[in-house]
Amino acid sequence: MNNPDKRTLLKGALITAASLLGAAAWAADDPIRIGMTVSSAGNYALASQSGVRGVEIWVDEVNAAGGLDVNGEKRMVELIKRDDRSDKQMVARVYEDLIVNEDVDLLMAPFGSTLSAAAATTAERLDKFLVIWSAASDALYAQGFKNIVSATQMPVSRMPLASMDLAADLGVKSVAIISVDEPFPAGLAEGARALAEERGIEVVMQETYPKGAKDFSLLLQKAKASGAELFYPTSYEGDLISMVRQMRQMNVSFPMTYMVYASTPQFQDIGDDADYIFSHTNFHPTINWEITAGLDREEFLEAYERLFPDVSYEPDFQTILAYGAGVVAGEIIQNAESLEAADLKKTAMELSDKLTVLAGPYAIDETGKQLKMPFPVVQLQSGGGMETVWPPEVAVAEPIYPIPSWDER
Amino acid sequence: MNELLLQGLVNGIILGTIYALIGLSLNVIFGVLRVVNFAHGEFIILGAYGAYFAQKLLGLSPFLAMPLIFLAFAAMGYGLYFVLIKRLAKSDDPEHASLLVMFGVAIALGALMLIFFEADSRSLSYTLDPPFFMFGSVIVPTAKLVALGIIVVITAVLAFFLYRTLPGKALRAIIMNRDAVQIVGVNLERMSALTFGLGLGLAGITGVLVALIFPAFSPFIGQDYTLIGFIVIVLGGLGHPVGAVVGGIIFGLTEQTALVYTSGTTATLLGFLLLIGVILVRPTGLFGREALK
């Protein structure tokens, strides 16, 4: 047997070292690829584009810091955006392409429950981890998907959580819930009923009315006659504006009135009639969570202005939810053993209740359903504008309760 | 419950009159022109926006804006007649053609309002003092009482016009026999344009009243009012002005009294069941005559 000479040994050692160094350099250059779709057109275009700007802010923040720390290595993040044109069939096809051909490591969901469900089905079939930021349908989380996590969006049934907690804290004993006969408002109404009952608040009236109803005066009087202390309509903005106007016209007032969309600028545009109404939002100068990961509100706004100077829209709650989901995804990746879907889900569970991002505290159950991220309750306080009154972690003002009746204002 | 029932009856009558006004203008157009104005609701919403911008830009109260909106819409209707409606007469089936054309107008008008006025719900800002009146245990908002008064005046003026003036009589004559009126020298074209102008003028005023009574409006809700208008005229009788008034009040009363005992969804369902019942028993509507067909 021939012994290798010194020169051959040296050559072999050099080749091995070079290949090892090359592999290490390749690993450091290899970015984490994150796939998602955006709706360039269709029903979801506006909300979807609002959302993706949040994800882009997160990507910019991570890459500016040198990347994510994955098993001791810094890896940059690359966002692979595709168009879905608000079409769920297209979502299924494009997410498959992202997984199979683009070889992404992780997926961010598209906007809304309908498109997210299509993406979740594909992610589940091809065993890829999907981070959801805007799907509020409870049904999505009841289908047994193993690879999904709603990082920031709480399901519809839990949206009334903060308002019902506040009502219970204020000593409210009874509630009248009315909703337009549509899935989202009806889901909110059901959630409100369950959460009220859990807190010992009696549901003295629960009614629906058909879409297109224009006059609410009799419904308001029925609610008043029911003796409810809390009036809880879960309808869209137009109906809520009509209700408030007619409450004044009919001299109907309740110790507490909560309206989901009363925090929008369009609602507040109605003037003094909007005063004292309770509502919710997740993005307001007075809402500042004790953040443990990602940017705070001011840093986020600065990043938004820097990255999107030409966008005519301000960041909205979709941008905040999507940004928060990016931050949560980053934390999951940094703490996971690998980028396999099962490992990422395991880590997502381990991080539950240990993170607070711009959108609020993060906690999930095994279905991936978001349990926290409460939309804080705000009240339109006369003269003072909109103030955050609940939960105590972010409250900056005392709730005005009971709401003064119309003739006391 | 009795108090609520009383409240429901009063509410039903007041809402019934506004439904009647929606049906009335629709019926005038259908009766004279045989045009199924599927864009009626969109014109109503345009009237509401007219009042909104008159208030926002000119500082005009909705009540002062009303006659201006009537005139503007009447002029628009008069002009639109020559652009849209006149051509329909050349069609093999003008009634069906009008339905399709006006459906297109409804879509276009809705889209234009969306572009110019945006999707947000708007509401007129006004205060009436006192905001409501109490009649025993029944509370009636001042806005509804004022609207009721305006509707009564409009209906009376319209009735006077139709039954006591020569153009009004000519207009009714067109409803009864379109060919015969031409023989006696009525200028059918001018009367038709006038009718379309009158119909749209009324739609404009209805829009202001609708915005006073049902406070929020957006570009998307025109079809809701078109639907109400058609229910009312099918109930009362196609093409019959008095039928529209009766149909509106019956529909309003049914809907509002049902609401006392059931949910809003069921109450609306009962309103539609009433409609189906009338169609089954009296297909021409309560005031309709076979001759009108």
pLDDT digits (tens, 9 = 90+) for A243-272: 999 999 999 999 999 999 898 877 888 888
Is residue A168 domain-shared with residue A279, that is, in the same domain? yes
Judgement on whether residues A197 and A268 belong to the same structural domain of the protein: yes
Is the Cβ of B256 closer than 8 Å to some Cβ of chain A? yes
Mutate which: A181, A182, A214, vs B, most B CBs within 10 A: A214
Looking at the structure, tell me whether residues A295 and A280 fall in a common domain: no
**What is the least distance, in Å, from the CA of B22 to any CA of chain A?**
14
Instruction: Let me know if residue A183 belongs to a domain.
Output: yes
Q: What is the pLDDT of residues A202-245, one digit of tens each?
A: 999 999 998 888 899 999 999 999 999 999 999 888 899 999 99
Whether A37 and A143 share a structural domain: yes
Same domain, A123 and A187: no
State the count of interchain CB pairs (< 8 A) between A and B.
90
Poorest-confidence range of A61-70, A152-161, A264-273, B11-20? A264-273
Pairwise CB contact (< 8 Å): B123 & A241: yes
Mean pLDDT score, B48-66: 94
Q: What confidence tier does A53 reach under pLDDT thresholds 50, 70, 90?
A: very high
- Residue A13 counted as domain residue: no
Residue A139 shares a structural domain with residue A168: no
**What is the arithmetic mean of pLDDT over B114-127?**
85
CB contact (8 A) between residue B132 and residue A271: no
A215 touches chain B (CB under 8 A): yes
Residues A66 and A211 in one domain: no
Contact B132 A250 (CB under 8 A): yes
At residue A154, the pLDDT reads 93
Scanning every residue of chain A, which has its alpha carbon at the shortest distance from the alpha carbon of B256? A218
* Residues whose CB is less than 8 angstroms from the CB of residue A70 and which lie 6 or more positions away in sequence, other chains included: A32, A333, A334, A339
Q: Using the structure block, give the residue that is written with the tokens 């205060």.
A: B127
Query: Over 90: is that where the pLDDT of B136 sits?
Result: no
Look over chain A and give the mean of its residue pLDDT values, rounded to a whole number: 90
The four Cα atoms A272, A277, A279, A283 give a dihedral, to 10 degrees, of 40
The verdict on A212 touching B (C-beta cutoff 8 Å) is: yes
Q: Could you tell me the residue range of the domain that residue A145 belongs to?
A: 30-155+288-362
Do A264 and A329 sit in the same domain of this protein? no
Q: Is residue A221 part of a domain?
A: yes
B268: which chain A residues are within 8 Å (Cβ-Cβ)? Answer: 209-210, 213
Dihedral of alpha carbons A66, A71, A73, A76, sign: negative
DSSP string, A277-315: -EEE-S--TT-----SSS--HHHHHHHHHHH-TT--SPP
Phi, psi dihedral angles at A389 (to 5 degrees): -120, -10
> Cβ separation of B121 and A241 shorter than 8 Å?
yes
A221 in contact with chain B, both atoms CB, cutoff 8 A = yes
- Residue A46 reports pLDDT greater than 90: no
Interface confidence (ipTM) of the complex: 0.84
> Across residues B212-236, what is the average pLDDT?
90
User: What is the band of A284 on the pLDDT scale with cuts at 50, 70, 90?
Assistant: confident
Asked if B265 has any chain A CB less than 8 Å from its own CB, the reply is: yes
CB B227 within 8 A of CB B41: yes
CATH code reported for the domain at B2-292: 1.10.3470
Domain tally, chain A: 2
**Lookup: tokens for A76:** 């940059």
Determine what percent of chain A is predicted with pLDDT higher than 90.
Answer: 73
CATH code of the domain in which A129 resides: 3.40.50.2300
Cβ contact A269:A262 at 8 Å? no
Q: How far is A320 from chain B, CA to nearest CA, in Å?
A: 22
pLDDT at residue A312, as a whole number: 73
Q: Is residue A146 part of a domain?
A: yes
Give the CA count within 13 Å in the CB-facing half-sphere of A85. Answer: 5
pLDDT at A14: 53
pLDDT for the residue numbered A27: 43
Question: What number is the average pLDDT over the span A113-139?
Answer: 95
Please indicate whether, in this complex, the C-beta atoms of B224 and A212 are within 8 angstroms of each other: yes
> What residues does each domain of chain B span?
2-292
Task: Supply the pLDDT for residue A299.
Answer: 95
Res A43: pLDDT: 80
Does any CB of chain B come closer than 8 Å to the CB of residue A125? Answer: no
Q: If contacts are CB pairs under 8 Å, which of residues 172-191 in chain A contact chain B?
A: 181
Residue B229 near chain A (CB below 8 Å): no
Distance between terminal CA atoms of chain B? 44
Phi, psi of A209 (to 5 degrees): -135, 155
One-letter amino acid at B109 equals L
Q: How far is B100 from chain A (nearest CA, A)?
A: 23
For B155-200, the pLDDT digits (tens) are 999 889 988 999 888 888 887 887 888 888 888 888 889 999 999 9
Question: Does pLDDT of A10 surpass 60?
Answer: no
Q: Are residues A150 and A184 in the same domain?
A: no
In a domain, A141, yes or no: yes
Is A215 among the domain residues?
A: yes
Is residue B240 very low, low, confident or very high in pLDDT (cuts 50, 70, 90)? confident
Same structural domain, A255 and A312: no
Tell me whether A226 touches chain B (CB under 8 Å): no
Residue with tokens 């509410």: B11
Examine the domain organization and report whether A147 and A166 are in the same domain: no
Phi, psi angles (nearest 5°) of residue A35: -105, 145
Give yes or no for residue A22 having a pLDDT over 50. Answer: no
Taking the C-alpha atoms of residue A406 and residue B156, their distance in angstroms, rounded to an integer, is 36
| Cβ-based contacts of B4 with chain A (< 8 Å) | 218, 221-222, 225
The C-alpha atoms of residue A218 and residue A228 are separated, in whole angstroms, by: 15
Cβ-contact A91, A37 below 8 angstroms: yes
Q: What is the pLDDT of residue A6?
A: 56
* pLDDT of residue A15 exceeding 80: no
Task: Say if residue A325 is in the same domain as residue A358.
Answer: yes
In a domain, A5, yes or no: no
User: Residue A189 pairs with which residues in a beta bridge?
Assistant: none
Compute the nearest-CA separation of B139 from chain A (Å): 7
Which of A46, A217, A239 best tests the B interface by mutation, with the highest count of B CBs <10 A?
A217
When mean pLDDT is compared across A25-39, A302-316, B65-79, the lowest value belongs to A25-39
Q: Per the CB < 8 Å rule, is B256 touching A181?
A: no
